[in-house]
Every structure is written in C-alpha cells, then in structure tokens.
C-alpha cells in the first residue's frame, strides 16, 4: 500500500546500545524528515534529506546519524542511546522544495531507553 511506514512501532533499549529506526515511503517524495516529539517541546526536527545521498541537520541532531542511499528509505540511527533520547519519533516525507512544507507523517516509533 502507498504511504509512509515506520518500524519498529515500539522499542525498548538500554543506555549505550545502538538503535536504528526505519522509515519507508512509497510516494517517491524527494524530501524526508525525522522529528522527535516530547512533552513541552512539540515536534523538533532532527535531520532531513532533500534527495538520495543528501542529508542535513535540523534543530536537534546530536547523537543521531542518518543515511539515504535510496529515495524511499531514510533510517535514523542512535549510535549510543541515552535516556534523554526516550521519545516518540516521527518520519515524514514531502514534495518538491516549494511544497515540502506540506509533509506527510508516518505512524511514529515510541522509543524507551532504560
């Protein structure tokens, strides 16, 4: 089915472990984004990508790594998870730059770091 999917939907991990959150979209949108959502902060941009092999930092990139070897996939890796990275993570995709603000969100991944 067309759309944007994330996996896993729920993840519990320990401090110091590496975790990768997956995002896949079938719309062929050029732009993809990773956000985290925390109480009191709303949605904050972690990283975004304008196209395959092009990525850039958002508002809160520290502790995260992204890659985009294929247009449809945009994985987010926490290299050494910390408790402060406990959050709900949303992946989103959007059209060309003029309309990339109209973003479509995946269902989210709830990550707990113990």
Partner 1 sequence: EDKVVQSPLSLVVHEGDTVTLNCSYEVTNFRSLLWYKQEKKAPTFLFMLTSSGIEKKSGRLSSILDKKELFSILNITATQTGDSAIYLCAIGANNLFFGTGTRLTVIP
Which residues contact partner 1 by CB under 8 A? 33, 35, 40-45, 48, 58-59, 90, 100-108
Tell me whether residue 45 or residue 52 sits nearer to partner 1 (CB atom): 45
Cα–Cα distance for residue pair 31/54, rounded to 1 Å: 10
Tell me whether residue 17 or residue 41 sits nearer to partner 1 (CB atom): 41
- Work out how close the CB of 45 gets to partner 1 at its nearest, in angstroms, rounded to a whole number: 5
- Work out how close the CB of 37 gets to partner 1 at its nearest, in angstroms, rounded to a whole number: 9
- Work out how close the CB of 105 gets to partner 1 at its nearest, in angstroms, rounded to a whole number: 4
Tell me whether residue 14 or residue 96 sits nearer to partner 1 (CB atom): 96
Tell me whether residue 69 or residue 102 sits nearer to partner 1 (CB atom): 102
Burial of 97 (0-12, 13-18, 19+ CB in 10 A): exposed
Burial of 43 (0-12, 13-18, 19+ CB in 10 A): middle
Report the relative pairing of strands 109-113 and 104-105 from DSSP bridges. unpaired
Cα–Cα distance for residue pair 45/41, rounded to 1 Å: 11
- Work out how close the CB of 15 gets to partner 1 at its nearest, in angstroms, rounded to a whole number: 27
From the list 79, 47, 46, 45, the residue with the least C-alpha distance to 63 is: 79
């Amino acid at each position: 089915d067309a759309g944007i999917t994330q996996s896993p939907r729920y993840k519990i991990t320990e401090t110091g472990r590496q975790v990768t959150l997956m995002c896949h979209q079938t719309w062929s949108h050029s732009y993809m984004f990773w956000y985290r959502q925390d109480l009191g902060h709303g949605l904050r941009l972690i990283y975004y990508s304008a196209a395959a092999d092009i990525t850039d930092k958002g508002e809160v990139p520290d502790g995260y790594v992204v890659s985009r070897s294929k247009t449809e996939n945009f994985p987010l890796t926490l290299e050494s998870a910390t408790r402060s990275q406990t959050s709900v993570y949303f992946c989103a995709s959007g059209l060309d730059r003029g309309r990339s603000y109209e973003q479509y969100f995946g269902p989210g991944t709830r990550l707990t770091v113990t």
